Amino acid sequence: DIQLTQSPSFLSASVGNRVTITCRASQGITNYLAWYQQKPGKAPKLLIYAASTLQSGVPSRFSGSGSGTDFTLTISSLQPEDFATYYCQQLNSYPVTFGGGTTVEIK
């Protein structure tokens, strides 16, 4: 199985900050990587797919990059509604797997 390791697992930031989350795959997955945002008690919401493509309706302050084994999710200017947990997901091969999550909290 492909393991996804996210870092950091927790970060504290202020509104307006630039935030970067990384996801490392245990083997190459080309660009078969997605990012999700999840708020307490809610289902994950797709933000980015194919490593860097913004899902329809997602604000442009979210961006993704990377290929192979190393990926990043960047929020250019953190907004109050962005405080949540973020997960990466690989769809390169079965089983589909998810990273351990990064919780973004208000500083």
Partner 1 sequence: QVQLVQSGAEVKKPGASVKVSCKASGYTFTSFAMHWVRQAPGQRPEWMGWINVGNGNTRYSEKFQVRVTITRDTSATTAYMELSSLRSEDTAVYYCARWAPVAGGHTIFDYWGQGTLVTVSS
Interface contacts to partner 1, rule CB under 8 A:
32, 34, 42-46, 49-50, 53, 55, 87, 89, 91, 94-101
Cβ closest to partner 1, residue 15 vs residue 50 = 50
Shortest approach of partner 1 to residue 101 CB, angstroms?
A: 6
CA distance 33 to 79: 24
Cβ closest to partner 1, residue 17 vs residue 46 = 46
Q: Can you give the C-alpha Rg of the chain in angstroms?
A: 13
Residue type at position 35? W
The single residue listed with the structure tokens 């329809």 is 56
Q: Which of 75, 99, 93 has its CA nearest to residue 32?
A: 93
Shortest approach of partner 1 to residue 6 CB, angstroms?
A: 9
Bridge partners of 12, per DSSP, are 105
Shortest approach of partner 1 to residue 53 CB, angstroms?
A: 8
Cβ closest to partner 1, residue 55 vs residue 63 = 55
